[in-house]
Amino acid sequence: MFRALRHPNYRRWAVADLVSVTGAWMQNLALNWFVLVKTGSPGLLGLSLLFQLLPGVLLGSVAGSVADRWPTKRVLLVTQSLHGVLALVLAGVAWVDGPLSAVYALALAGGVVTVFDGPALGRFGSQLVPREDLSNALGLGSILSSGGRILGMGLAGALVAVTGVPLLFVINAVSFGAVLLAIGKVRQEGMFHLATSTAERTGIKAGIRYVLGHRPLVLMFLLGFVLSCLGRNYQVTMAAMSEGPLAAGPEGYGMLSVIFSAGTVLGGFVAAACKNLTLRLVLWSALGTSVLQFFSGVTPTLWSFATLLVPIAIGAVVLDTATSTRIQLDTDEDMRGRVLAAKGIVTAASGAIGGPLLGWLSEFAGPGLALEIAGAATVVATAVAWLLFARSPQRRAMPAEQRWARLAGVHPTPPQPVHPPLPGRATARPGGGPRWTRPGQRITGGRRRAARARAHQPT
């Protein structure tokens, strides 16, 4: 199940990833709590989240081009160091109870760094394992992410009342040291290098042309946008259901959050156990989670709602892992960073739109009806995407055994063109060979002896 751990570079990275994710969730809880206590306004809390997501929509294409053009280790050393510095500055702002504008500015700066961090992390992670172990590594990554989330939120909840918010920011800053250490320990000979772009395939425009010209990839992104908008904002729907029809209060919301997090850990194990994460698995997972979301809106009790949350969380993680696997394995290696950046843009846009949309539906139509509407919409979106995939001429041309296994055939990366040397003036005489008098004229040994004989003839 854990075949990716056979590779030493990935083992080092996995440990650092768990430490960093734990610190990141501690900071997320601390930042949300600091803004909420300072302002007393959930709306102003949402504004801080918007500042973190906005750079992903505006700068994602630039970040993808950087990830494909520059060495990923160098990019990550810069971005991870900046994350640590920003966390320390945020701790200072919290310590002196600084103005809200400073918090928003730091949230925006952190969002910019995260934009450039994401594609580089994805490209770097895929170089730590061979192609056949990438899906397993992504599944293990989901386990580490879910485990770090549970651990980080638990530690933050226990420490925030005792130590206050600033220490949590400091702990997150220190956690980035583990990532920098792991990057330094990664051995070059153990990495699996990806193809690099030729001159005509570098840059932002080439990446945009590639993504828009890859119709199965565009369809996958559109489906992911709808699913993320209406089917993935569980924190909003769980809070609304706890406060509304389930009448469970904050205690019930906390319990549902723990149960959902435990389900995501189980989902990571399921994804890691799957030998092949296929397109068919993506579509079945999307359909299953959508149907379960629809029925969760009509559950009458807290425990019945919690029971449905477990398979929903498992399906969501399997869906995310399978989608990331297909997006990376079924596209050209030299476009990996720009494809992952496009996925990040879709995720950021769906989060910025979906959270307020589901909140508005829950407020005006009721949380239960909001879940039913969102579930029905995602069922329809999945069915339409399935139909479009089936009718794709490109898919019908694929071999039968690959038709529903892969997103599409991978376009081979064009080889680097080899240009013939340009003619030019010789600068040195080749040893042991003919001598050059001027460009284009060569004197051979026979002609040289004849010229000397004519020069010594008596006149």
Same domain, 259 and 391: yes
- Is residue 155 in a domain? yes
> pLDDT digit string (tens) for 218-267?
999 999 999 998 887 777 778 778 878 888 877 787 788 788 888 988 99
Domain count within the chain: 2
Domain end call among 164, 192, 220: 192
- Is residue 214 in a domain? yes
User: What pLDDT was estimated at residue 159?
Assistant: 84
Same domain, 39 and 132: yes
User: What pLDDT was estimated at residue 117?
Assistant: 92
User: What pLDDT was estimated at residue 112?
Assistant: 93
Residue pair 64/207 in contact (Cβ under 8 Å)? The answer is yes
Classify residue 280 as exposed, middle or buried by CB count within 10 Å of its CB (0-12, 13-18, 19+): middle
The parent domain of residue 329 ranges over 207-409
Same domain, 320 and 278: yes
User: What pLDDT was estimated at residue 244?
Assistant: 82
Same domain, 169 and 222: no
User: What pLDDT was estimated at residue 450?
Assistant: 58
User: What pLDDT was estimated at residue 410?
Assistant: 52
Query: In which residue ranges of the chain is pLDDT below 50?
Result: 411-443, 459
For residue 381, the number of C-alpha atoms closer than 13 Å in the C-beta half-sphere is 25
Question: What CATH number is associated with residue 242?
Answer: 1.20.1250.20
